[in-house]
Structure 1
Amino acid sequence: MKRFLKYTGLAIVLMVVHTLVVFLGTDNGWWYTPFTKERVPETFIASVQKELHNEFVGNMALGVFKNGQLEAESFHSNDKLVDRNTVFQVASLSKFVSAIGVMKLVQDGKLDLDVPIDQYLTRWHLPKSGFDNSKVTVRRLLSHTAGLTDGLGYAGFESLKDLQSLESSLTKATDADPGSDVRTVVGIEPGIEWRYSGGGFTLLQLIVEEVSGQSFDVYMKTEIFEQLQMTSSFYEWDERFRECVADFYNSDGSKARHRYYTAQAASALYTTLADLEKLFYSLKEDERKQKPLSVQFQKMMWQAQAETLGTPIYGLGTFLYAELENNSFIIGHDGKNNPPLNTAFRYNPLTKDGIILLTTGSTDFATRIASDWVYIHTGKVDALLFKRQLGKMIQTIIIGLVVILVLVISIAFIRKKLKNNDIVSTHQA
C-alpha cells in the first residue's frame, strides 16, 4: 500500500506540473511561431502579401498604425479593384462600433448602465425565465454577462424582403446560425458568467431606438458617423453604395450573394478602411478633437467587465486581447460570418499602435494576422489566438497525462520485478 501511494503521488505531481507547463506555455506563447517576425509596418505588410499566396482571400484592405499615425496600407482583390474607400461588411466588428453609440447615450445621461433594461422598453420585453430578469442591465448586455444563452450567430437574409422586424428577431431569429438558440432569453443567472450573445446586442439596438426615438441606423449616423466624418458607414442597406461593396466569396473561391441583417448592431455594419481609420484616431486621448465620447467614457469601455479562466476578456463592447501595463489592454473586436468574411481591429492605448484588417473569402485570415501582430509587438498571445490553440493545448495535455501514467506504471512494475529478482537471488545464495 505504501508503495502504491508513493507512485500515485508521483504520478499526480507530474501530471499537475505537465498541465501547468502546457497551459502557461500556450498562454504565454513559449513555443508559438507567428507567420512573421517583422515589426516595421512596411515589412510587416510585405509579409502579409506573401501570406496571401498560401490560401484564398477574395479581398483585403489593411492599415497599420504606429504612434497614432497611419504608417502603411495594403490592398488585395481577386476581381473588382479594392481600395481604402471600398465598403466591407464587418460582421461582429459591428458590436465594437455599436457599443460606442450605446455609450454616447450613457454619457448624455439618457441611459444608465446599471438599472433593469425593462424600464427602457415598450415594444418588446424579455420572456419570463427561471432567473431574475431585472438583473439584465445595459452594462451586462454590453459585456456579454447578462445571462443570455442565445449564442447568436446571425446568417442574414439573401433578400431585403425577407428581413424580420426587430421584435420578431428577438423572439425567434429565423436567420440564426446553425446550433444557435433562436430566442433571446435569460438562460443562466445574470452577472456570473461571460457568454457571447448576438441577441444581447440586438436587444441593445432596440434600446437605442426606444431611447433615441430614431432608427438605429439614423441614430448611429447622426451621433457617431457624422461627428467622425465617416461618410461611407451605415447599418441599414443603402443602394447608393451597391457598386462600392467588396465582392463576397464562398470558401471554394466562387462568388457569393450579399446578405442583409435585421440584427444591425450585432452584425450589419458596412464601412471602409478609410472610415475605420478615422475611428482609430478618435481613440487617442485628445479632448481637443471633436469625437462622440470623452476620454473618461472611452476608457470606461476598456475596463475589464468579464473573465474567462481567470483572465480578463471583455469590457463594454470590446475584447481585451492582451494585458499591458497599468491595467491597460490591447482593445478592439473581430468579425466573422458566412459567406466567409473576417475582420479585425486592434488598438494599443499605450503606444497608439494598431492594425485594421478587412477581408472577404476567408473565415480567419484577418484574425490570424491581427493576433500575430499583437504577438510580435507584445510577446503575448491574445484572447482569440489562445482560443485557436485551445484544442491543440488540450490534446497535448491529454497525451502527456497518458505518457506520464504509462511511465510511472512501467517504473513501478520494473522496480517491483527487480526487487523480486533480488529477493530470489538472495534466497538462492
Structure 2
Amino acid sequence: MKFLYLLIFVCPLFLSCKHKTENKSQDPEPTYNDLESGLLPAVIVGDSILQNHTISEAMETYNVPGVSLALFKDGDIVWTSQYGTIAKDSAQPITSTTKFQAASISKAITALGVLKLVETYNLDLDTDINTYLKSWKAESEFTESKKVTIRQLLNHTSGATVQGFHGYSNVGITPSLLDIVNGKGNSAKVEISTVPGTQFSYSGGGYAILQMLVQDVTGNDFESYFQEVVFSPLKMTHSTFNQFPKDNIALGHDDSGKMHPEGHLIFPELSAAGLWTTPTDLAKFSIAIANSYKGKPNSFISQDLATQMLTVTKVWGLGVGVRGEGDTAFFFHAGGNPGSYKSILINHYNKNTGIAVMTNAKQGNTLNDDILRSFSALFENSVFEPTYITPYELSEKETDALVGKYQLEEEDNYFLDVYSTDSNRIVLYDLNDGMKVTFVPVSKTEFIDVDNGGKSSFTIDSITNKVVKMNYGEGYVFKKVDE
C-alpha cells in the first residue's frame, strides 16, 4: 500500500553478505568500520538496552541483497564499502563500480547540469521558460499572470503536475519524452495546475520539462550533454543516463526480496529518474557542489549559482533539499523507484562531509535510515538520530476506543484495521495487501512507529468522547467507520 510504504518496508532472506572494503583514509580503519557495525534503531522505547547492529545483519533483516556506500570528509572520499551481491541468487559481488539506479537523485544531478547550462548559455533563472523551449510550451490558465521559470521547475514551485513516474519494461518500445509530457505514456499529462511560484509541489513532470530545456537549448540529446558537460569533468566515470548499461549493474528487488522479473525497469524521463551511478560518483557530484558554494578555484559552477542552489524557496533548494544552519546545515536527496532501488545522499556542505548509500531492494530505505543514524553518531551531527520515547500505558477502555475499521477520506474502498496487542502496542493492518505497522503509544491519542519513528494520532470527538479519525503519516486522514 502506498501509504504504509511511506513509513515501512518488509523483505526475505538471501544467501550471503560478504563485503569488500576500500580504506582511503589516513585515519585508523576502525573509525570508519564503526559506521558499519554501529547501526542504530529508529526508536528506543523507555529503558530498552541499546543494541547496535551491523550492515550485514540489517541486510538480512530487511532482505536487501546489495549495498554500496561512499563516505567523504573535508571534500575527500575517505572510505567506500560494498556488501552482498547484484541479485539475491547471484554470486556476483557488489563492487565499487557496480551501478545502481539513482531514481529521484537524478533530479539533483539534473539540477547541477541545468545550472551549468544557465551559466554557459547565459540563461535567466527567472525568465519565462517558454523563451527557451521549442518542442513544448508550459502554458495554462494559471500562467496568464505569472510564467513558469527555470528556478521554479528546479525547486518544485512551478505548478507542474505528475509527482513521479512508473517506469517501462526494458524489452518493449518506450514513448518519446514529448509523448510522455503530453500524457501518451503510462503517466498523466504534465500540466501547470497552480499559479507558478505560489506553492511547493514535488514534480517529476517539472523535471521532464527541464529535460526538454536541455535538449532545446543545446540541440544535443540529454544523455550526451550530461556525459560531456557533467560526468566527464567531474570524473564520474561510472555514471550514465543510458538506460541499458552494459555490465556490472545491480538488479532491483521488491519488498519480499524477489528480483524484478526483468531485473530493472527503464525511465525515459531521464532528468527525473533515469540515472545509473555509484555512491562514489554521487560523492564526487556532492563535493563539487560544496566546493562551488565555497568559491574554490576551478569550481564546477559559480559561487553565486551554487549559493542559489542551496537557498531554500518554500521548501526546497534548486534540485536538493536543504536543512539546518551553520556547521549542521546539509543538502540531501533520496531516490526510490518501482524497480526497486533505494538511495540517499547527504552533505554537510560547510564541512563538505557526508555519505552516499545505494541499495537494490525496496526495503533499502529502512536500511539507509539505519546507516544514516550510524553516520550521525560517528560524526556527532544531528542529521538522523533515534527517537527516544517514554511509552504511555493504555487502559483497556482507551484501547477499545481505538480498535476498529478506518476508511481513507475521499476513497470509498480503502480501509485499515486497527487492533491492539498484549504488549501495549497498536497495529495498523492494511486490508488491501496485508501490510502491518506497529505503533507504541506516547499518550492516549499519539503513537510512534516502532520501526521508523513515524507518527500517527487519533482525534476524539469532544461531545461524544469517541474516536472519530486517525491522522496517519504526512497528511493522510482515515475516518472511523462502523463494522
With normalisation by structure 1, the TM-score equals: 0.73
Q: 1:150 maps to which residue?
A: 162
- Residue identity matched to 1:171: N
**Cα deviations across residues 344-401 of structure 1 (Å, max 9, x unaligned)?**
100001222201000111242354236535754433559xxxxx99999984498686
Q: 2:382 maps to which residue?
A: 379
- Residue identity matched to 1:319: G
Find 1:298's aligned residue among 294, 306, 310: 306
Q: 1:361 to 1:392 in 2, by over 3 A?
A: farther
The answer to whether the 8 A contact 1:155-1:338 is kept is yes
- How big is the shift at 1:46? 2.1
Find 1:193's aligned residue among 199, 218, 224: 199
Q: 1:334 maps to which residue?
A: 334
**Cα deviations across residues 287-345 of structure 1 (Å, max 9, x unaligned)?**
565443133322220011123xxxxxx1000011x31228x731021101112210110
What SS is found at the alignment partner of 2:178? helix
Q: 2:318 maps to which residue?
A: 316
Q: 2:80 maps to which residue?
A: 73
RMSD: 3.1
The answer to whether the 8 A contact 1:110-1:211 is kept is no
Task: State how far apart, in whole Å, the 1-side matches of 2:258 and 2:349 are.
Answer: 39
Task: State how far apart, in whole Å, the 1-side matches of 2:345 and 2:214 are.
Answer: 24
- Residue identity matched to 2:80: E
Structure (1 or 2) with the greater helix fraction: 1
Find 2:62's aligned residue among 55, 78, 87: 55
- How big is the shift at 1:150? 2.1
- Residue identity matched to 1:117: I
Structure of higher CA gyration radius: 1
Q: 1:400 to 1:231 in 2, by over 3 A?
A: closer
1:95 aligns with 2:101: no
Q: 1:31 maps to which residue?
A: none
The answer to whether the 8 A contact 1:227-1:290 is kept is no
Task: State how far apart, in whole Å, the 2-side matches of 1:400 and 1:159 are.
Answer: 44
Greater RCO structure (CA 8 Å; 6+ sep): 1
State how 1:7-406 maps to structure 2 within 5 Å: 40-47=31-38, 48-78=55-85, 79=90, 80-132=92-144, 134-151=146-163, 153-159=164-170, 161-172=172-183, 174-176=185-187, 182-238=188-244, 241-256=245-260, 257=262, 258-285=264-291, 290-307=298-315, 314-320=316-322, 322-325=323-326, 329-363=329-363, 364-365=365-366, 367-369=368-370, 371-372=372-373, 376=377, 377-379=380-382, 395-396=446-447, 402=460
The answer to whether the 8 A contact 2:181-2:208 is kept is yes
What SS is found at the alignment partner of 2:107? helix
Task: State how far apart, in whole Å, the 1-side matches of 2:366 and 2:456 are.
Answer: 29
The answer to whether the 8 A contact 1:62-1:74 is kept is yes
Task: State how far apart, in whole Å, the 2-side matches of 1:398 and 1:170 are.
Answer: 36
- Residue identity matched to 1:261: F
What SS is found at the alignment partner of 1:63? strand
- Which 5+ residue runs of structure 1 have no aligned equivalent? 1-38, 177-181, 308-313, 383-387, 408-429
What SS is found at the alignment partner of 1:248? coil
Task: State how far apart, in whole Å, the 1-side matches of 2:331 and 2:140 are.
Answer: 35
Q: 1:35 maps to which residue?
A: none
What SS is found at the alignment partner of 1:303? coil
- How big is the shift at 1:185? 0.5
Task: State how far apart, in whole Å, the 2-side matches of 1:140 and 1:401 are.
Answer: 37
- Residue identity matched to 2:366: F
The answer to whether the 8 A contact 2:129-2:149 is kept is yes
Task: State how far apart, in whole Å, the 2-side matches of 1:391 and 1:261 are.
Answer: 39
- How big is the shift at 1:281? 3.0
Q: 1:380 to 1:345 in 2, by over 3 A?
A: closer
Q: 1:23 maps to which residue?
A: none
Q: 1:74 to 1:133 in 2, by over 3 A?
A: farther
The alignment of Structure 1 onto Structure 2 pairs a total of residues equal to: 348
Percentage identity across paired residues of the two chains:
23
Task: State how far apart, in whole Å, the 2-side matches of 1:124 and 1:341 are.
Answer: 31
- How big is the shift at 1:134? 4.6
Structure (1 or 2) with the greater strand fraction: 2
The answer to whether the 8 A contact 2:324-2:330 is kept is yes
What SS is found at the alignment partner of 2:326? coil
- How big is the shift at 1:277? 2.9
Task: State how far apart, in whole Å, the 1-side matches of 2:456 and 2:70 are.
Answer: 40
Task: State how far apart, in whole Å, the 1-side matches of 2:195 and 2:441 are.
Answer: 31
Task: State how far apart, in whole Å, the 1-side matches of 2:253 and 2:198 are.
Answer: 39
The answer to whether the 8 A contact 2:36-2:371 is kept is no
